Homo-oligomer: A and B are copies of this chain.
Amino acid sequence: MKFNPVTPEIVATLQQIVGEAYVLTAATPEEVKRYAHDETEDLHYYPEVVVKPVNTQEVSQIARLCHEQYIPLTPRGAGTGLSGGALPVHGGVVLSMERFNKIIQIDERNLQATVEPGVVNEEFQNAVKAKGLFYPPDPASKGSCFLGGNLSMSSGGPKAVKYGVTRDYVLNMEVVLPTGEIIWTGANVLKYSTGYNLTHLMIGSEGTLGIITKIVFKLIPFPPKNVVMLVPFRSSEEACAAVAQIFMAGITPSGLEFMEREALQWSSDYLKIDVPLPEDIESHLIIELDGWDLDLLYQDAERVYGVLEQFNTGEVLLADTEAQKEDIWRLRRNVGNAVRYNSIYKEEDTVVPRAELPALLKGVKEIGQRYNFKSVCYGHAGDGNLHINIIKGDMSDEDWNNKLTEGIKELFRLCVALGGTISGEHGIGLVQKPYMHIALQEKQFELMRGIKKTFDPHGILNPGKIFEMA
């Protein structure tokens, strides 16, 4: 793909479209720098220009301009991504959606909400909760990530195990195509059998098919009661094995998270929250049950205890207070930050059928021994979604950049052999692209390329992501 540079004339046109105050150029390098990276490793790619439109018409004009001039256009949410999806690897224009920050309507009659894509996930959750409603998808970065970015990756989070991922809450969206046309992808309805499902095609397409400018979400009633347990295991493989057993007992927790000893240890140090961590404990599960009736939840908790009896666990902590529950969840949500604080790392977002988790974890450690890397594992065990943080520590740059790649390939081959795949919720973006051929055959790439060309004939939108075009 051959692109053109951003000329002074194009900058001037962009300024006309959005106003001078909302165009950043190399004249203010410190401001541009913010848009050169996301939360993926230590990667930096500088855009030639950053624009901050405020409405759909402006986005449409920008897209048409970039389409006509063959200029790369990379949409950007909050920049919390972990696969480099928002990095402008071919330069060009970064389209920041930060001014699309309005909750347009919360429709209590229909249990729906219409929002702009730059609304922060947690702000949206709080706004609907104030009306007794629930928007469950809650990535660890919920305090800062944008809903539009969540759609682009179909983000999950701890609640996904009971309530599903972002995909399951999107009814309809307004999208600006790379050619500048504006469409709605569906209708504001719970069931839709009216042609190819463009809504579901857009979700998870990582900003390569269109720019989301409005989203209609489905909401559900907020379940007011919950019970949270922290369960220590003497064997990590047993912890993983317990996960499937809980579901097989007919229980559907609203959270079922796994943390290796070091994940909890590092997060506890990072947050300065004290957790008892006896020497013989290899890992923990967080188990949350939610619903409308506390007695019933305690009955379910008893059934969980029944399942746990067959495993070698330490003393279960049943959170007594809301503060204690919040501490447990903060510990979980901050594992990523704590790992980042400790070392350069690569995070692999593996996912397998949940009963294959023990085999996956065992394989990870065995591969780590052979390739001489250390890993800290945690994640949404109820979904079979294990985040494997590979720690650079004192590994040489040579080994980190080259030899490690082979180890990661082995990891992903194991996932696929177990019926899984290489990303459950973080997406492929830039950094997982080299591994895509492990999960997909050439024919699937061919179909994806054809879809991409249909939406984006000049290939300008977020180029260089997910798969190679040629």
Contacts and interface: CB of A to CB of B under 8 A. Distances in A.
Interface of A: 107-112, 132, 153-156, 160-161, 164-165, 167-168, 177, 181, 183, 186-198, 200-201, 203-205, 209, 220-221, 244, 247-248, 250-252, 292-293, 296, 299, 349, 351-356, 380, 383-385, 416, 419-428, 436, 439-441, 443-444, 447-448, 450-451, 453-455, 466-467
A422 B193 CA distance: 8
A223 to B, nearest CB: 9
A354 B187 contact: no
A192 B451 contact: no
Contact of A110 (B209, B244, B451): B244
A198 B447 contact: yes
Closest 7 CB pairs of A and B: A450-B454, A200-B200, A109-B355, A187-B421, A191-B424, A221-B250, A188-B419
11 contacts: A160-B190, A188-B353, A188-B420, A190-B351, A193-B425, A193-B427, A195-B204, A195-B448, A200-B203, A201-B451, A293-B299
A151 to B, nearest CB: 11
Query: What is the count of identical protomers in the complex?
Result: 2
Contact of A109 (B109, B161, B220, B248): B248
B132 A441 contact: no
Contacts of A380: 191
A193 B353 contact: no
Contact of A189 (B187, B203, B293, B352): B352
A111 B190 contact: no
Contact of A385 (B191, B201, B247, B252): B191
Given A110-B353, A194-B428, 7 more contacts: A189-B383, A189-B385, A193-B423, A193-B428, A195-B440, A221-B250, A450-B453
Q: Is the interface of A mostly helix, strand, loop or mixed?
A: loop
Given A189-B351, A221-B250, A423 B110 contact: no
A190 B379 CA distance: 14
A448 B111 CA distance: 30
A292 B189 CA distance: 29
Nearest to A449: B454
